Chain A
Amino acid sequence: MIKKLSLTTTARVYVMMIVLYLMSGLMEKNYFSTEHIMQLLVMASFLGILAMGQTLVILTGGIDLSVAYTLNLGAVIVTQMTVEQGGVTAVVTALILGLVIGALNGAGVVYLKISPMIMTLAMSSILKSATYVYTDGTPKGAASDWMKYMVTGSFMGIKIGILVWIVLAAAMIVILGKTTYGRKIFAIGISPSVSHLSGINNKFMLISVYALSGLFAVLAGIMMTGFSGLSYLGMGDALLLPSIAAVVIGGSSIMGGRGGYVGTIAGTIIIYILSSILTVLDMKDAGRQIIYGLVILAVLFMYGREKKVRV
């Protein structure tokens, strides 16, 4: 039954994505070109990877507000360390740091019993300071050539950044759908107490989910530095709310336990298609913000409503 429900929701999201894409193409002919699709998907891949972690966290019934600053810190560390110690060391260090930051979030949620929103909010503040202190206010360095190639290079006519996203997305979908680890995530989201009583190690699960969220955030940061060649403060700030919106538009319940990454992919792409439509309409930032909010509300009315309380 649950499976059937999520299928219909996911199908709806994809129908919406296709309709929006056709609309954008009718407004602007060259949106149907392969080049534009590539460009759109490369841009979407950063948010798509960031939203992987957010999807996992939201499925457990939590929320991660620290992804943007984790992304920022990861990005500035990569560019600065690349110059000093070489690209490989930089990337490995940043990824480990992402895992540690996420694990700390998870530990706060599990051991200190701080609610996810507040814990990740406090972590955001700490990371913001850490990023400033580390960079002294101005990020230095640049991405190495292979990092740039990992995003903007082409393989059989497809940008490698998109391929990276496809591979990771496939892994995510398999893990969520076909492994016990994935099932446990849904179980915790549906009811932490029941999952605990059925022998699931909630503590380990939650810490690992937040750790993965930190890892994906840093990875998104590395991809962004590869794309633009450098890092700057506030690189990921504009992606925080979209990372949550992509998950919700994708049909996952903000309360956890329902949804999955398949929907999030469409949710991510929808956000970028919308953005391209608004560009055609020459919409200013004010209008963008309003339409953005209205779209999220419209989507919620389509499939985010709860059942009526009956006594």
Chain B
Amino acid sequence: MGFIIDGILEAVHLIVTLDPDVIEITALSLVVSLTATVAATLIAVPFGASVTFNEFPGKKILIQLIQTLYSLPTVIVGLLLFLLLTRHGPLGFLGILFTPQAMILAQTILVLPIMTGLTITAISGVDATIRDTILSLGATRLQFLKHVVREARFAILGAVALGFGRAISEVGAAILIGGNIYGRTRVLTTAITLNTSQWNIGTSIALGIILLGIALVVNTVVTIYQQR
């Protein structure tokens, strides 16, 4: 039992003294996952909106496919990207395997389905009378989209927060694509994996506390915003 107490004490010490390794790992996690979330938002929201308001053959199947991919396993994303990005793969010329950029790419792909799907749900949930009102006021198609998205912004923000949560907490793709390189592609989740297997309990707990803390902060911010 004592080692857990020791671990927690060491963790607190690492956090309070702003241990440079811990800070660096945390910063990289935030940069990678926030960038991936922003990129995914910029793709998912317009795409989700256009799927919602356009009728085309196979729309139902597409939506079903998107929802199926909610549970896209992170290691599968990692595997596919690894095959593409390895030097002799189709995208090997980019030379980005084992870099933060590749991790951003992986996490963007990973969270796209859930963010697109939830955007569709959010926009579909906008009251029909509001939609009719916007149209009857003579809005152009673009204005209409803009206003509907604005009506649905709280739900869309929830989708964004969920996407970020999935991105920052995944470990499968991060280890395969990033390679867990110290000081370059080591993020919170891969560092916890490594440190636990090496019995560096204090470091693991410290990183775990930070990871939970980030989730808490993001959630709180979203909730406060939604309640305003």
Q: Do A and B come from one complex?
A: no
Interface residues of B (CB under 8 A from A): none
A residues with a Cβ closer than 8 A to B are none
